[in-house]
Chain A
Amino acid sequence: MRRSYLLGAGLAIAVAGMATSAMAQEIKIGEINSYSLLPAFTEPYRKGWQLAVEEINAGGGINGKKLVVISKDDGGKPADAQTAANELVSSENVAMLTGTFLSNIGLAVSDFANQKKVFFLAAEPLTDAITWAKGNRYTFRLRPSNYMQAAMLVEEAAKLPAKRWATIAPNYEYGQSAVSVFKKLMSEKRPDIVWVDEQWPPQGKIDAGPVVQAVAAANPEAILNVTFGADLVKLVREGNTRGLFKGRSVASFLTGEPEYLDPLKDETPEGWIVTGYPWYDIKTPDHDKFLKAYQAKFNDYPRLGSIVGYQTIKAAAAILTKANSTDPEKLIAAAEGLSMPSPFGEITFRKNDHQSTLGAYVGKTALKDGKGVMVDSVYRKGSDYLPSDAEIEKLRPKD
């Protein structure tokens, strides 16, 4: 803080001519996210990257240049995200684009980056398409993908004795592909499993009572849940009241992330197998450092979004530092295969599909002091849950 204050004061007394030379000493990153549509997820994310920017500039910036992040809201609309991307690239001359939360927006910006030959580091979108079916050489992605999350869940879920499974997923691309990957991987490990019911509530508009009733009527032994946010809250409440989860195992995407777990408060169902982020339980030096800095700066605990926001900008800085250039081709060359530390340990951006090996924690939900927590969590490295190079070769279009 003090440093930037001094810097600011220095700038304030500088004459106009000096200001232009100060501009040349900046490297700008353009950042886009759904701040107004999804504040619950993007606020912690924003705090995360703000912390990263502060740390980077305190440590001397990018090869001595000050890092500046220019952030834009996309209102949750792909078209608006493209307008923002255009502004950042054309007007602000940013060195690269980062951010996005929703899959469709991630894809829209990725396609834009490919068309305009701009480096894009996707932060949060989960869709497999962004690195595989619709992958392109300009796009990298940080967060573990849908496929990786599914593979991590399957590993645990396959150990359950349950043979009769039902699925509940929001009816759009994310829910559909989560279910199909989970089913595919699960059936590979456990050919004896039968899928007895599928529920596809509309995203954001689940009519939880009837859905719970319908699933219960199929009498599964285990349930896969892909819903999240307000839909998850409604599902859990109805499920608890109607006894849907009693005596049944549940595997659930993302539910261990504080963003989704915390709103459930004392109604958190126990014993669900989930992927997530138990920040209270991670005892590694890397994470301790991050946690302390975050809590000191914001007087709040981090969510998964905080980690993603923080690491996105850290990764961007690492790529820019290594490339020592803003030329997109050099950035790609620098990023491919680049390893760096993260609060979750070392991660690498794979050369073959531009996916980072950032992993996730897998554990079980539990209640502690009237709050939902993850227990028995284990960190799963992303690199262990990705298909072989040969398969990736088949999945990605040729550049």
Chain B
Amino acid sequence: MAFYFVQFLTGLASAASLFLVASGLSIIFGVTRIVNFAHGAFYMLGAYVAFTLTERFSGAVGFWGGIVLASLIVAVVGVIVEMVLLRRIYHAPELFQLLATFGLTLMVQDIVVLIWGPDDLLGRRAPGFKGAVDFFGQNIPSYDLFLIGLSPVVLGILWLLFQRTRWGVLVRAATQDRDMVAALGVNQKWLFTSVFALGVFLAALGGALQIPRDAVHHALDLRIIVDVFVVVVIGGLGSIIGAFVAAVLVSELNAFGILIFPKISIILVFLVMAVVLIVRPWGLFGKPEAAARRTPGLTVNPWRPLTSNERWLAISALAVAAMLPLLAGNYALTVGSEIAIFVIFAASLHFLMSVGGLASFGHAAYFGLGAYGVAFLAKAAGLPMIVSLLMGPLLGLLGAAIFGFFAVQLTGVYFAMLTLAFAQIVWSIAFQWVTVTGGDNGILGVWPEKWAAGPASFYWLSLGIAAIAVALLRVIVFSPFGFALRATRDSLLRSEAIGINGKRVQWTAFVIAGTVAGFAGALFAYLKGSVFPDSLGISLSVDALVMVLLGGVETVSGAVVGAIVFKALNIWLVSQTDLSKLVLGGFVVLIVVAFPKGIVGVLETIRNRRRSSSSKSSSPDSSLATSRIETAE
């Protein structure tokens, strides 16, 4: 009995840091609607800065002072980030802020190594909390007891802050209705900045408090960020008490999960998140999102099929691309094949995100399933390449059909998180089920047959499939189904009122996107000759998101350009420098600030501006656009 009690306390102690970081993320999201991917980076910075300070200042005052000072310093960094970067992009399309904070995260990973060196750092133990307390023969570290006591205190302070101060009232009001607060004449800028600072402070504090238990290293951010997303989503976005309960739930699941299912502890948390989201779509303590505001930034210019000139342009571009083997060597062709494959992958996510309005954070699952499908068919069943290539993606289709059914019941961030959870479950299975998938050692020897083995032939194969996939998705965009899908995205209310079964339409779109991603994965397996769990991983999902946003989420085929630019740059940077993350992150941040509509979005804006200025004189009704009223009454 004492054992279970101590195990419970241990879980509570683990919950403390998780709660601090998660509450910060939740507060920031609640007010600014920013999904702050950089929250893990601030956590890590907190740990690093606290390490430096506590090494320099001795004694209890030095230690505790160092922890608090470190959190404050990182909060100031957060304020600078908010003012310099995020303020510029609050009105950019949804998720663009996620892209910006993702870029920051990449940069911070390299920066901490540059500043603090590559070695794992062992911080000091907390003065006064070095030992353990004996509890019926079980030892409880006294620092754990300190952490257990700390979270309710922080929860209490936050509660007082939000309930008893004017600032707190404003923050709560802003969480419910941002526009109302603006209408009250509150300086929204500073409200956002202060909220961001508080959130970052909590993240940094969570990191700083880990130094007596953990090693400080440059992968801390990714280790915590996914867990924190899970906690925030289970608890309900914007709910601090929810973050608290979910942090405890997740930590206890870990603590007791390892006793019952020692081998599947990673999956367990994601399974719970998936179940919570299916049963309570807004998390345990969350409130239903107010009927989705009309997505700001949606372009007013309706999509249209290519004109015949543009079609010729696209065909010429394809023809030029097809001539690459005449000019370039084997390496360039292999890179070209890889880019073509990522064009397919990005286009499939773009279809779901831009046309369907469903931003998946776990799209790599279907890419990876396609790849594993091929690997199983080619290696285990020994089927010929063409058959494997056509049948392998069916595994992606199957996965998309099953997971998509549940995912499309949700919207917005919750949809994103459920797709993430599914992807993580699939990844964990591939990673840990060694007997079937080979675990992280993957499945080797999936090489193309002779006819496709040469770099030029494989390049043509990839390019051809990419062209077909992109063209097909474009056709679907302008098909009756594509319009039904866009109708569902634009106005759920109206589409339902004209007889459209939105969920079924979205589910179909999910399956289409998953299948196309599966084809990309199938080709990828043959390109690399092997399949690893990486091809299902978060970083691949995030890469795809970045490609779509980079190309322009409001365009028909921006993802094609986004994929080419991002992948080419990525491959080049990885080849040229060990600091590829710093450069790539900086590039992403720059793009976000300079071209918030993405590359293709910017090009279209320029073209439309030119077109409208040339047609202005001839248009009698140009006043119509200015007399438009946003909402009634």
Contact = CB atoms under 8 A, between A and B. Distances in A.
11 contacts: A80-B574, A104-B440, A104-B442, A108-B530, A111-B530, A171-B263, A199-B262, A201-B258, A209-B255, A214-B7, A233-B120
Contacts of A26: none
B580 A78 contact: no
A1 interface: no
A200 interface: yes
A199 B254 CA distance: 12
Contact residues on A (Cβ < 8 Å of other chain), bracket: 35 or more
Interface stretch (B138-146, B198-206, B460-468, B548-556): B138-146
A210 B10 CA distance: 6
B139 A204 contact: no
A368 to B, nearest CB: 16
B578 A73 contact: yes
Interface stretch (B212-220, B295-303, B504-512, B620-628): B212-220
B389 to A, nearest CB: 18
Contact of A73 (B444, B532, B574): B574
A171 B442 CA distance: 15
Nearest to B432: A171
Contacts of A200: 258, 262-263, 265
Nearest to A39: B118
B94 interface: no
Contacts of A383: none
B122 A207 contact: no
Interface in B1-36: 3, 6-7, 10-11, 13-14
Given A129-B441, A172-B440, A200-B262, A213 B532 contact: no
Given A75-B580, A90-B331, A176-B434, A264 B122 contact: yes
Interface in A225-276: 229-230, 233-234, 237-238, 241-243, 262-265, 267
Contacts of B118: 39-40, 42-43
A330 interface: no
Contacts of A204: 219, 223
A27 B7 CA distance: 59
Interface in B313-348: 329-332, 334-335, 338
Contacts of B6: 213
B3 A234 contact: no
A263 B51 CA distance: 13
A74 to B, nearest CB: 8
Nearest to A210: B255
B384 interface: no
A78 B265 contact: no
Contacts of B574: 72-75, 80, 83-84
Contact of A213 (B7, B110, B223): B7
Contacts of B535: 79
Size bracket, chain B contacts: 35 or more
Contacts of B11: 209-210
Contacts of B577: 73
A108 B432 contact: no
B48 interface: no
A217 B3 CA distance: 7
A112 B444 CA distance: 9
B432 A172 contact: yes
Interface string A40-78: 101100000000000000000000000000001111011
B248 to A, nearest CB: 14
A115 B331 contact: no
Contact of A230 (B110, B214, B431, B438): B214
B441 A198 contact: no
Given A171-B432, A230-B120, A237 B442 contact: no
B440 A103 contact: yes
A107 interface: yes
B575 A84 contact: yes
A263 B580 contact: no
Given A210-B11, A214-B262, 8 more contacts: A83-B334, A107-B442, A171-B266, A173-B440, A217-B3, A230-B120, A241-B139, A263-B119
8 nearest CB pairs, A to B: A39-B118, A90-B331, A233-B215, A209-B10, A173-B439, A90-B330, A210-B255, A241-B141
B113 interface: yes
Interface of A: 35-37, 39-40, 42-43, 72-75, 77-80, 82-84, 86-87, 90-91, 103-104, 107-108, 111-112, 115, 127, 129, 134, 171-174, 176, 198-202, 204-205, 207-211, 213-214, 216-217, 229-230, 233-234, 237-238, 241-243, 262-265, 267
Contacts of B119: 40, 262-263
B215 A234 contact: yes
Contacts of A234: 213-215
Q: Which of A111, A262, A267 has the most CB of B within 10 A?
A: A111
A108 B329 CA distance: 22
Contacts of B214: 230, 233-234, 237
A213 B10 contact: yes
B14 to A, nearest CB: 6
Contacts of B532: 78-79, 104, 108
Contacts of B529: 82, 111-112, 115
B255 A91 contact: no
A263 B444 contact: no
Contacts of B122: 233, 263-265, 267
B263 to A, nearest CB: 5
A108 B120 contact: no
A205 B223 contact: yes
Given A83-B574, A115-B447, A263-B121, A207 B255 contact: yes
Given A134-B444, A209-B255, A83 B571 contact: yes
Nearest to B12: A209
Interface string B463-489: 000000000000000000000000000
A198 B262 contact: yes
B591 to A, nearest CB: 21
B265 A201 contact: yes
Given A111-B444, A202-B265, A230 B7 contact: no
A171 B258 CA distance: 12
**Which of B11, B212, B213, B581 is most buried by chain A, counting CB atoms within 10 A of its CB?**
B213
B131 interface: yes
Contact of B334 (A42, A90, A216, A237): A90
Given A75-B580, A173-B440, A210-B254, A205 B215 contact: no
B184 to A, nearest CB: 44
B173 interface: no
A378 B444 CA distance: 37
Contacts of B334: 83, 86, 90
Contacts of A173: 434, 438-441
A320 B283 CA distance: 62
Nearest to A133: B441
Contacts of A262: 119
A204 B214 CA distance: 11
Contacts of B335: 83, 86
B331 A87 contact: yes
Contacts of A127: 441
Interface string B482-501: 00000000000000000000
